[in-house]
Structure 1
Amino acid sequence: MKSYKKWLAAFIIVAAVLVWFFFFLSGRSSSRQTIVVATDSDTAPYTFKKKGKFDGYDIALVKAIFKDSKDYKVSFETVAFSSIMTGIDSGRFQMSANNFNYSKERAEKYLFSNPISKSNYAIASKEGRYKTLDDLSGKSVEVYTGSNYAAVLENWNKRNRDKKPIVIKYVANTVTLAQRLQHVEDGRTDALLYDAISLKTVIKDQNITLKVTTVKGNIGDKRDGLEYLLLANDKTGKALQKYINSRVKELRKNGTLKKLSQRYFAGDYVSTLD
């Protein structure tokens, strides 16, 4: 009888602990805010899909930032690039990881994280013919409407009205970077302005016969080539910005940023960050 009572008491204690643990985890899970991260999954090596799973430098970094967070959990959603910012505006997404560069226009509406990588503006062309924006005068270049690269070319045209304008061809977001590079290879367009890392990655992966040259001279300001995470400019976004910047600092200090850079970019594109 005593043995039975001891067993029953032990069972009750274990059951109570399990019930408490279940409710503890349930409460912890429900208190964590879900952050929906928008990405086009088509800007390798920053963001892409591999066997149906989200991957890329930006994706891996976001996962590292929110790993073991007590306040947040993240989910990713693939959308067309043109829909990312409208989705943030509507509250559908709280942030985006998609190789975003700084622009004054974006800064007026959104928040930026601290820089997470540093590449360079570059031009892909046959035999590396073009090395500056001036070299693109009178030449055709494909861009996405609303992209940072479109703004760079549009601003050049505005500043250089005495020269032949760069022929800007706006293409749909469904036209991939690989397809746009093939258009250059086929002679349908003269060149493509993009970041050096992405151009070199896709050209190598797709065996495209183009050369990449880093753009000489400053295109904008000291933010040239820097990449950021983009956040909504609201209460949630401000809290996220503070959390993300703190975590990026930790990840840079413990070497995670450098490891991710070497894994996805085949080089160190983070050690020069301020």
Structure 2
Amino acid sequence: MKNRFLVALGLVSAAFLFLAACSTKSDEAASGKKVITVATDSDTAPFTFKKDNDFKGYDIDLINAIFDDSDTYEVKFVTTAFDSILTGVDAGRYQIAANDFNYNKERSEKYLFSDPISKSNYAITSAKGVSYSSLDDLSGKSTEVISGSNYAQVLEEWNKANPDKEEIKINYASSTTGLTTRIQHIESGKIDFILYDAISSSYLVKDQGFDLTVSNLEDTIGGETDGLEYFLFADSQEGKELQEFVNERLKDLHEDGTLVELSQEYFGGDYVSSLK
């Protein structure tokens, strides 16, 4: 009886796997293309956000332009917490990470980067009438960051490099705590500032009507990669193929003016013409 049960269970499992495989093949055959899943947190306007349940933003529209009319690929977008994006790339759930990603050494050792897709400066958002233009100005001040972000690393490195000064008070927010919420904490007096990119900071303060000050950071951070934004891929054969495809399309979109148009639409200015 036990053997019969095991045989029956095996047949059911085999049938399930067969049907699942057929379903997958049908999905692929329907479009004849490979589906590329793009991960974003949908909470980093104007790079990526949701509007009426639709994915919007500079990164989103640029991805759509890159894969438009592709005979090989079609894309779908998924929303996930920021700190789950790259772990999802590691696990193969996502093929592209699109979320205003900047360069850092740790990422470069693990992931492939596209050619840069925009260039912004670091900026400091603070209370109305209070302006900070240097990291030194932030000594003794408080902020909120997402652990593992470039902005967190910049502040952490300043604290390490300046043991003789009062440290910047870094509070680590949940990955689900969006930039809007953290900026609201400046208005409420919970924190003193937010370090972020100038494009996002200026956009959000204006779009949400915050009565705050946004100042460009005058310090040079990161050398040649300072302020550059990228798409990220897994360091795999599939990732290399996608990287090559995306970079070729980026060249075309740079030459035909699409990048400038998207930059003007979402950033209110040209943040792409200086890209190499």
Q: Secondary structure at the match of 2:74?
A: strand
1:193 aligns with 2:203: no
CA contact (8 A) 2:28 2:34 kept: no
1:71 aligns with 2:72: yes
CA-to-aligned-CA distance 1:100-155 (integer Å, 9 cap, x gap): 00000001110110000001100001224211111111111110011111111111
CA contact (8 A) 1:128 1:213 kept: no
Could you tell me which runs of 5 or more consecutive residues in structure 2 were left unpaired when the two chains were aligned: 1-26
TM-score (norm 2): 0.88
Tell me the distance in 2 between the aligned counterparts of 1:128 and 1:34.
48
Shift of 1:158: 1.3
Aligned pair partner of 2:215 in 198, 201, 213 = 213
Q: Which residue of 2 aligns with 1:226?
A: 228
Q: Which residue of 1 aligns with 2:242?
A: 240
TM-score (norm 1): 0.88
Shift of 1:210: 0.6
Aligned residue pairs, count? 249
Q: Which residue of 2 aligns with 1:55?
A: 56
Q: 1:225 to 1:27 in 2, by over 3 A?
A: closer
Tell me the distance in 1 between the aligned counterparts of 2:166 and 2:239.
42
Q: Which residue of 2 aligns with 1:149?
A: 151
Tell me the distance in 1 between the aligned counterparts of 2:34 and 2:167.
48
Q: Secondary structure at the match of 1:75?
A: strand
- Share of identical aligned residues, percent? 57
Tell me the distance in 1 between the aligned counterparts of 2:265 and 2:131.
30
CA contact (8 A) 1:128 1:212 kept: no
Tell me the distance in 1 between the aligned counterparts of 2:258 and 2:29.
27
Could you tell me which runs of 5 or more consecutive residues in structure 1 were left unpaired when the two chains were aligned: 1-25
Tell me the distance in 2 between the aligned counterparts of 1:211 and 1:219.
21
Q: After alignment, is 169-178 or 192-201 more displaced? A: 169-178
- Which has more radius of gyration? 1
Report matched runs for 1:1-274 at 5 Å: 31-126=32-127, 127-274=129-276
CA-to-aligned-CA distance 1:16-58 (integer Å, 9 cap, x gap): xxxxxxxxxx987554211100000000000000000000000
Q: What's the RMSD between the two structures over aligned residues?
A: 1.3
CA contact (8 A) 1:33 1:73 kept: yes
Q: Which residue of 1 aligns with 2:18?
A: none
